[in-house]
Chains A and B, each alone.
Chain A
Amino acid sequence: MVPSRGLPSGSRPTGVSVGPAWSEAPCPILVVDRNGGIVEVNEAARTLLSGTAGGDRPSWHLPDWLADAHRCVTGGPSTTCAPTRSGRIGERMFEAFPTPHPDGDVVWWLIDDTDRRLAEETLRRAQERAAVLAGVSGTLLSSLSVQTCVEAAARLAVHHLADAAVLISPASPAGSDRFPVTFARAGGPVTGTTRTVDPATVPGLAEALQGLPSVPACWIDPGEVPAWVIPQGFEGPVGSVVVTPLPGHGVPDGALILLRSVGRRAFAEDEEAFAGLFAARVGAALSSVRVYGEQSRVTALLMRELLPPALGTVHGVEYAGRFRPFQDSERIGGDFYDVHPGADPAEETLVVLGDVAGKGLDAAVLTGRVRNSLHALRPLAHDHGHVLGLLNTALLTSPHERFVTLALASVLRRRAGRVRLRLTSAGHPPPLVLRADGRVEESGTYGDLLGAMPSVSFRTEELVLAPGETCLLYTDGITEARGGPVGGELYGVERLARDLTGRAGMPAEAVVERVHMLAAQWLGRGRHDDMAVVAIGAPRTGPLAVVDGDGHADRRGGADPHVGEDVRSPNTHWRQKRTRRT
């Protein structure tokens, strides 16, 4: 670009011919001699230079950046040639393009790129802010507690927007004048407190807390900001203030107050707009966290209702239960059990073990209904058939398309440590009894599953446990466990009975533990259904008590009106008749 041949300077007038097209060209053009003197300018350049330097040509000189560029082109003393040939003239930015002339003059074409630069600068800022906002959302959405989220928001506000930030959360309790307030300042800690706030005392705060658009910063007199808003350690008086709402999902989620000290530039219009965008992200994140927190609180509450109860000894009879959901990560499922103690030792305790078809939360919700229904029906439990008939009707009229199988046991401790049981199965595997002599018996109860058929019937069996004997209620998840040495084989009730043979005398807790262990061993790592087990144990009496001579309890016969009888609830008859009519 530097002309190789040098011509003596001072050749005037310039050899560059100046035509009308040249002088009326829209961009400023200057002809500059090798010494940097302006030789000729066109109209546009004249307007530009007279606008900045004023006066006429004698007082004009090249701006420094153009003088440097010119020296560079003419091969003058400046050896360091800056790559940029652009700079400011007056209020505008120009890029300069040289056309060296053989006589040593250089024609400089100046292209005004002020608007392009402004656009580029705006774009860069917008990109920066978009990145900041994305980062804000990322940071805030990764926190699951409201407290963490609020603190992070205050910290980010200080980092990106202001010297101090005060985040006012919605009043707690709602409608009161107590507001959780979080303070942050540059270089300081984030602190939180709950205090009485009269929103009317802070300009723009009342509007922001109602979710109304924020009041322009220039309308807020920093002197009116009450002292409590200014975080401790804030340097200097407040110079400018932005109060912006935090828009939540549907309702405002508090307000954000941004403070800048007098020493710093006041909030510009675009910064206020950016603060609004920032607040929108914060509000959305806070709202999500609040909803999440509320939901997890509700879930935990409901979950507690659905969890299996802790069992122990009631009225001299041992109870133990274990539940293993089909997915080990879950805590609830379709199997359930409950023990409803009698009001006193002379009243029967009702034990329920059941299985709702299906797994997971859907099934668990129905178990909750069944458990509540049975709890309410407990006073009728002297007649299992009646209770089950009522439950069947209730299930048939509920919107669920699921059925339930369950086993009921009414338990009463008799003299000499014996325990009388009335057992009824509703489509459920019949309970097993671990006899004192080591045998394992399957009870003779049977009945229909509930919630599928309009008419159901059951056979209740009564039996007696001697001290040390145990009755085991289990769901089919145990016997249908697939595994074994070959793999894929069913565990089955025969194998379960064989594995429990000779195990009488163990505490109920140990029996339950053993059954789960057996099933788990059989399964290996195979997948399984929900598994639930309840053991009802007649405790061994103390060393002085003598177990009956024959060692196991007698099965009582037909003398008792319940035994061997087909029990059907009156309700069942009614439904049956109605069905016949239709």
Chain B
Amino acid sequence: MTAPDPEFSLIVTAVADVLRVEIAGDLDQTASEELVRAVAGHLTPGTAFRHLRLDFRQLTWIDSMGLAALLRTRRLTSTAGVRLRLDNRPGFLDRLLALTGTSAHLTASGSTGEEVTGTGTG
């Protein structure tokens, strides 16, 4: 599928109230910590950001620790009242989200703290 251990990188861009994080390479344990640190560093209390967009166009792999990082990110955005969007998801990411039932929780368009997501059926 891919070579093991591709270089992991994060590119963080802030435009107006949108924080955009491009994730390239394998989102594993080490990379996950970097991701959460980067997001937590920007979504400080009283942040002006209203949207967080994680761009996965160059994501090569994600493991369970990567998923844990996404769930922690989701918690950070909920607390900060920021909308989370996962852009350009590769197939394997969608499959992981589907398998673990986290797709709606993480990708629902209005995933802020006030709303309940991830129930599938009402």
Contacts and interface: CB of A to CB of B under 8 A. Distances in A.
A150 B113 CA distance: 62
Given A357-B64, A448-B102, A452-B71, A487 B4 contact: yes
Q: How big is chain B's contact interface, by range?
A: 20 to 34
B119 A576 contact: yes
Given A355-B64, A482-B4, A488-B2, A453 B121 contact: no
Nearest to A404: B64
A476 interface: yes
The interface centre, meaning the residue of A402, A429, A449 with most chain B CB atoms within 10 A of its CB, is A449
A452 to B, nearest CB: 5
A529 B63 contact: yes
Contacts of A359: 29
Interface in A425-442: 426-429
A455 B121 contact: no
Contacts of A446: 99, 101
Given A357-B64, A358-B64, A455-B116, A405 B121 contact: no
Contacts of A460: none
A488 B4 contact: yes
A177 interface: no
A452 B75 CA distance: 9
Contact of B68 (A402, A457, A579): A402
A357 B67 contact: yes
Interface in A38-97: none
A103 interface: no
B95 to A, nearest CB: 10
B1 interface: yes
B102 A427 contact: yes
B65 A357 contact: yes
B46 to A, nearest CB: 20
Nearest to A427: B100
A526 B71 contact: no
B118 A448 contact: yes
Chain B at the A interface: SS class: loop
B99 A427 contact: yes
Given A452-B71, A454-B116, A488 B102 contact: no
A448 B1 contact: no
A455 B99 contact: no
Interface string A29-43: 000000000000000
Contact of B120 (A403, A428, A457, A488): A457
Interface string A544-582: 000000000000000000000010000000001001101
Contacts of A490: 1
Contacts of A457: 101, 119-121
Contact of A476 (B1, B64, B71, B120): B64
Contact of A456 (B3, B65, B71, B101): B101
Contact of A449 (B65, B72, B100, B114): B100
A429 B99 contact: yes
A152 to B, nearest CB: 43
Given A488-B1, A526-B4, A579-B116, A448 B100 contact: yes
Contacts of B20: none
A447 interface: yes
B85 to A, nearest CB: 18
B105 interface: yes
Contacts of A405: 64, 100
A334 B3 CA distance: 25
A489 interface: yes
A447 B101 contact: yes
A270 interface: no
Interface in B97-113: 99-102, 105, 113
B1 A449 contact: no
Contacts of A207: none
A112 interface: no
B4 A452 contact: no
A235 interface: no
A401 B116 contact: no
B10 to A, nearest CB: 20
Given A402-B68, A448-B118, A576-B116, 8 more contacts: A358-B68, A449-B67, A449-B101, A453-B101, A455-B119, A457-B101, A566-B120, A579-B116
Closest 10 CB pairs of A and B: A448-B101, A427-B100, A357-B64, A449-B100, A488-B4, A452-B71, A357-B68, A453-B118, A455-B119, A488-B3
6 contacts: A357-B64, A403-B71, A448-B118, A453-B102, A529-B64, A582-B114
